[in-house]
Structure 1
């Protein structure tokens, strides 16, 4: 059996990989966003097949799932001890954890962009992307999704626990949300094959593609899978033996690879020769498939332990602790790293970027972001969080 520390070491690893994949995706995204079609085509030709995972934005789903698992586990412990969930305490803790850095990012990014009173106001209450006016922060959409779900989590979990079969209810909820993604893509005015390609070819993404990617409802599956994993493991923990199959982890890893390695960025790839209905189902359900696969890998780490994680534990914990700071502020460091590596501010230079330069930009961005996030954690995030919690108590 694994220890509590080993559990968290592995979860820290997942979150660390998740946030670093987000940074790498944004390096790639930045090339074809700011460099235009020439840069996009050059990057597609340059990056080797083994780096196909860099084109897939699944890192944020891994973060969603682990956060949901950890918070649900905390609420389950509280429900067992008190017979209820202290909603006020939970909400205050979430607000004190997210608001300090979020509002700092909101103010700093607003200083560098034209002021839109409506967008700023809705961004401040986590509704900008949801209501269609956008978020001042480049990655603000995901913070909106997290905040909205976390505020609803206590009530949702309370309702689920009142059911005799909570896992069945969650399973149905996952099927409904996934089915809605598939149905929306089916009835939308865009071919499923263009969901990624339009963006990767520096074309404006369709409204359907934006809604599917950014809207909170369509991003629910990782959160629901995380809740289901927490409930399943919490129930299993009450028995002397946690039943599992070691092959479950490998099956989950296979599902993750299936999601991360289709060549979504190459227009004439085998993927886009598949029938349209198959593409609709795949692109509509891919985040659910990925989330279920990741939950299977996490389950095995919880049951069988992850002793091999010990040497990596502290490094992953360091990244995991300041994950919000890395996520919110890595974009400016990405631009700085690109200028340092390419030694130019000319966007045309992006069309000449090499694989080595891509990794150098990613490495510098990650290092700068982690150092800055650690400073924010120590001097802003923790002090303000403690102050808010002390005042609220």
Structure 2
């Protein structure tokens, strides 16, 4: 691509510097009619590539863990929906679907739990906004709630409206009838979704309505961390209570639930609504609260303790990602217990989120390593890889727009658009589908980021500065 770009620049320079004799002007003009459109087309074609290089050239953010987790999460979401597409294809062929599920090695079944990436998104969003507002309050001794909402509007709404219109083209009548549910971010309450993943954005927007007020309330207390822990425990209890309130939710094995008419009951009660997905948002607030008010605390742990913490937390993450269990032949269903299932349904997402937060905080509060340490080298190779910076920057459009590219990737690999003609999907097919879906989604998302997302964020900042002057400008805080 670099060679092609250099060639394009050379051609353009040659055309610019060319001084044809008078008798050749007409001939040159005719040639330019064909050359210039080609150059414009080629420039447009490689625009995502050049935009990606600009993003990668940006310095790392203050919290490199955020870029890593956000980039990893968007890859997890796309991978999950590549698998989920098989469930859609075999919706009316339960035997074929079970054959596909059984072909997944038990050790790899955690991939079916990649939808938990949404919980990471919740935690990251809450952390970043809480930390920013705490910075603002430290500087101004106040928070402009109206500016907070204006900032959220320009960050979310422009790209969201584009996504709503594009997805709405598939069913104009539904868009005209139910579009206002989406515009108000209440579609998850009334099951009126148009964008497949909007339910998660609706949960975030509903949380944003109370977030600045909750922060102001907690700042009045000297025990903000304590009250956040109380809220986290209460949110976990609320999820347990919702699951307990309907026996079908926890007494039905998942392999039966997701193929039955009762799946909508589970999704509407446990998946799509804020009352059962609140915990990671509160955990994000706790994360911000701890490192803002206790930035200099340090843990002195032996190598054995460090190893035990990492092994135990990674084990909890792995185990929680293996739930829910899709394989009917799993040992989990050979000794099925509804009370254990109730606990698993209630806690698997919470355990996942808590384990991730423990690792983040454990790493943050460790004594800073020397430049030559193994940990520092691992950090540079993994967390500071510029790939995560790129994926993090375009995570929002990738999250919105990956669905059609997952479908296109499956069509390319399967070689057919006739769903009913597909009798079997082999596990190896998922690798090229995932690669194609990620590549196409990234390319399109770079366009969306360049044309819409980044531009409107910039416009929003200009309006914020004009309307609110310096209010809500974060303080410079050294941790």
> Under a length normalisation based on structure 1, what TM-score does the superposition of the two structures give?
0.92
Shift of 1:228: 0.6
Structure number with larger C-alpha Rg: 2
What does residue range 290-309 of structure 1 map to in structure 2 within 5 Å?
290-304=352-366, 307=376, 308-309=378-379
Contact 1:70–1:230 at 8 Å: present in 2 too?
Answer: yes
Please give the secondary structure, in 1, of the residue aligned with 2:173.
coil
What does residue range 216-295 of structure 1 map to in structure 2 within 5 Å?
216-237=274-295, 239=296, 241-243=297-299, 245=301, 246=306, 247-262=308-323, 264-272=325-333, 273-295=335-357
> Distance in 2 between the 1:136 and 1:34 partners?
20
**Aligned partner (choices 157, 160, 164) of residue 102 of structure 1:** 160
Please give the secondary structure, in 1, of the residue aligned with 2:430.
helix
Contact 2:98–2:327 at 8 Å: present in 1 too?
Answer: no
Task: Note closer, same or farther for the CA distance 1:66–1:270 as it changes in structure 2 (3 Å cut).
Answer: same
Residue 153 of structure 1 is matched in structure 2 by: 211
Cα RMSD of the aligned pairs, angstroms, is 2.2
Contact 2:249–2:266 at 8 Å: present in 1 too?
Answer: no
Contact 1:178–1:284 at 8 Å: present in 2 too?
Answer: yes
> Distance in 2 between the 1:374 and 1:67 partners?
21
Contact 2:60–2:389 at 8 Å: present in 1 too?
Answer: no
Pair 1:363-2:435 in alignment: yes
Pair 1:354-2:354 in alignment: no
Contact 1:249–1:296 at 8 Å: present in 2 too?
Answer: no
**Aligned partner (choices 218, 224, 246) of residue 188 of structure 1:** 246
> Distance in 2 between the 1:386 and 1:77 partners?
21
> Distance in 2 between the 1:69 and 1:217 partners?
19
Provide, for residues 247-297 of structure 1, a one-character-per-residue CA deviation record: whole Å limited to 9, x for no partner: 444432222112012461112422232421121112112111111101011
Residue 102 of structure 2 is matched in structure 1 by: 45
Pair 1:35-2:97 in alignment: no
Please give the secondary structure, in 1, of the residue aligned with 2:187.
coil
Residue 459 of structure 2 is matched in structure 1 by: 387
**Aligned partner (choices 276, 298, 322) of residue 394 of structure 2:** 322
> Distance in 2 between the 1:22 and 1:210 partners?
20
**Aligned partner (choices 81, 84, 107) of residue 142 of structure 2:** 84
Task: Note closer, same or farther for the CA distance 1:243–1:349 as it changes in structure 2 (3 Å cut).
Answer: farther
Task: Note closer, same or farther for the CA distance 1:29–1:164 as it changes in structure 2 (3 Å cut).
Answer: same
Please give the secondary structure, in 2, of the residue aligned with 1:266.
coil
Which runs of 5 or more structure 2 residues have no equivalent in the other structure?
Answer: 1-58, 369-374, 467-479
Shift of 1:218: 1.0
Residue 55 of structure 1 is matched in structure 2 by: 112
Please give the secondary structure, in 2, of the residue aligned with 1:192.
helix
> Distance in 2 between the 1:13 and 1:77 partners?
23
Residue 128 of structure 1 is matched in structure 2 by: 187
Contact 1:6–1:309 at 8 Å: present in 2 too?
Answer: no
Provide, for residues 126-185 of structure 1, a one-character-per-residue CA deviation record: whole Å limited to 9, x for no partner: 11112x132110111011111111232111111122222112211111111111111111
Please give the secondary structure, in 2, of the residue aligned with 1:352.
coil
Contact 2:110–2:321 at 8 Å: present in 1 too?
Answer: yes
Shift of 1:342: 0.6
Residue 259 of structure 2 is matched in structure 1 by: 201
> Distance in 1 between the 2:456 and 2:128 partners?
22
Task: Note closer, same or farther for the CA distance 1:330–1:77 as it changes in structure 2 (3 Å cut).
Answer: same
Provide, for residues 86-139 of structure 1, a one-character-per-residue CA deviation record: whole Å limited to 9, x for no partner: 212221111111111111010111111252344211111111112x13211011
> Distance in 2 between the 1:292 and 1:302 partners?
15
> Under a length normalisation based on structure 2, what TM-score does the superposition of the two structures give?
0.76
Q: Once structures 1 and 2 are overlaid, which stretch shifts more, 173-182 or 324-333?
A: 173-182
Shift of 1:198: 4.0
Residue 174 of structure 1 is matched in structure 2 by: 232
Provide, for residues 323-374 of structure 1, a one-character-per-residue CA deviation record: whole Å limited to 9, x for no partner: 1100000000000000001111121455421121112111111111111111
**Aligned partner (choices 360, 373, 380) of residue 310 of structure 1:** 380
Please give the secondary structure, in 2, of the residue aligned with 1:180.
helix
Please give the secondary structure, in 2, of the residue aligned with 1:137.
coil
